[in-house]
Amino acid sequence: MENANNKKGSFKGLLPLVIFLVVYFAMGIGTGDFGNFPLMIGIFLASAISLFMNSPVAEKKTFTEKVVMFCKGGGDDTLILMVIIYMLAGAFYGVASGMHATDTVTNIGISILPANMILPGLFLIGCVLSFSMGTSMGTVAALMPIAINIADKTGVGVALVSGIVVGGAMFGDNLSFISDTTIAAVKTQGCEMKDKFKANFFIVLPAAIITVLIFWFVTRNMNFHLEENLSYSLWEVLPYMVVLLGALIGINVFVVLISGIVISLIVGVSMGHIALSEMFQVVGNGVTSMYDITVISIIVACIVSLVKEHGGIQFILNLIKSKINGRRGAEFGIALLALFVDACTANNTVAIVMTGPIAKEISEEFDVDPRRSASLLDMFTSVGQGIIPYGAQLLSAATLTGLTPLQIIPNLYYPLLMGVCGVLAIIFRPQSKKLQ
């Protein structure tokens, strides 16, 4: 049972997370590369602090008792479910990539685009590709060479097409059913993927439409022809369609992902993209790609259990209560918290894992619908990740194009519009009926 004194809250209880954020951010800015300070090291640092510290508002416990509480935090059933879904999503992405489904989605889009729709079409392809793959980084890597080709042949700036690709990548990173951000958001807030998708989609739809109109206006008189042979097979998009339709219908996520993996293997082997002897290796590589975020998620949950015991989460709740009133204020609190932590970690999935439990407490305290809190977490971490110059997406785009992130930022119409739509949705959108 939670100690009653924890109702007082204590900033000291937040020290493990605060010190982690400060050290990680300082090391990233100081070295110019956030990869120079591995997230895992920072997480272990925060773990040590949480185990050795005591809080004035919590009953003093022995080190052994704190270790037991720490471990129990990592054994939460919702967390374990999230970890398994991470693994299945990674396996699906690994197999789908191995069967060249990424090339198929891109080639279909480029083949059917009229010349005056090449830029909005590139954005839409990025949206579809990232939504199908569940990864913004994979989308940037796959589309950027094509975007550079388009820029060379049309005369539009490379910075503009780079902004288009990154924007499309963040669309799917935010909404995809197999995105690790979506998985983390819905599992920490306790809602279904399809419900979060519906709530989230209608908030960001105006941003996507406005972005398409902007790019259409730029290319309305353009004449463009891509000479490369763009071959594709509709069979290669079948796994994506199965996963998408299954998730929208509401079929259990385990069934959906396992079906997608099996169908991807059948199609990949039958079409010769995956050798029969290599199919389990492809699955294993996909699962392995999710190891880091899986371990980080578990250890962060362990840390948060002690942060809560030390009154850290209650401190945030009390601070929010003193500054805001009602559900809309709480929603702004969740959005700002998510945006701030993403800016500090430069990783939207880690930001959601860290802020998810706090957002859950806020949503319960202020009667915020879990679909809403999950959407806000995913949206505003995606906004942050899409515009921070030291984020992996912009750094990858800059590396592939030879530009600097600061040259690309003015062309990031979609992430910026997504943030605007998120703010307007909090201010003006009627509150949805809360799930029981």
What dihedral angle (degrees, nearest 10) is formed by the CA atoms of 420, 421, 426, 432?
-170
Percent of the chain with pLDDT over 70: 93
Half-sphere exposure of 212 (CA within 13 A, CB side): 13
Query: Could you please report the per-residue DSSP string of 295-345?
Result: HHHHHHHHHHHHHHHTTHHHHHHHHHHHH--HHHHHHHHHHHHHHHHHHHH
**Whether pLDDT at 5 is above 50:** no
Res. 4 pLDDT band, cuts 50 70 90? very low
**Whether pLDDT at 51 is above 80:** yes
CB 81 within 8 Å of CB 123: no
Span 187-212, pLDDT tens digits: 999 999 899 999 999 999 999 999 99
Res. 1 pLDDT band, cuts 50 70 90? very low
Supply 431's token pair: 């509150």
d(CA 266, CA 366): 48
CB 355 within 8 Å of CB 338: yes
CB 354 within 8 Å of CB 187: no
Span 269-319, pLDDT tens digits: 988 888 888 888 999 998 998 888 888 888 888 988 898 888 888 888 788
What was the pLDDT predicted at 115?
Answer: 67
Res. 6 pLDDT band, cuts 50 70 90? very low
Supply 153's token pair: 């042949």
Supply 182's token pair: 């979506």
Span 94-110, pLDDT tens digits: 888 788 777 777 777 77
Res. 369 pLDDT band, cuts 50 70 90? very high
d(CA 313, CA 308): 5
Scan for tokens 């490379």, then name that residue.
158
d(CA 22, CA 12): 15
What dihedral angle (degrees, nearest 10) is formed by the CA atoms of 306, 309, 310, 313?
90
DSSP state of 77: H
CB 295 within 8 Å of CB 353: no
Handedness of CA 202, 206, 211, 217 (dihedral sign): positive
What was the pLDDT predicted at 224?
Answer: 60
**Whether pLDDT at 60 is above 90:** no
When pLDDT is averaged across residues 355-382 and rounded to a whole number, the result is 93
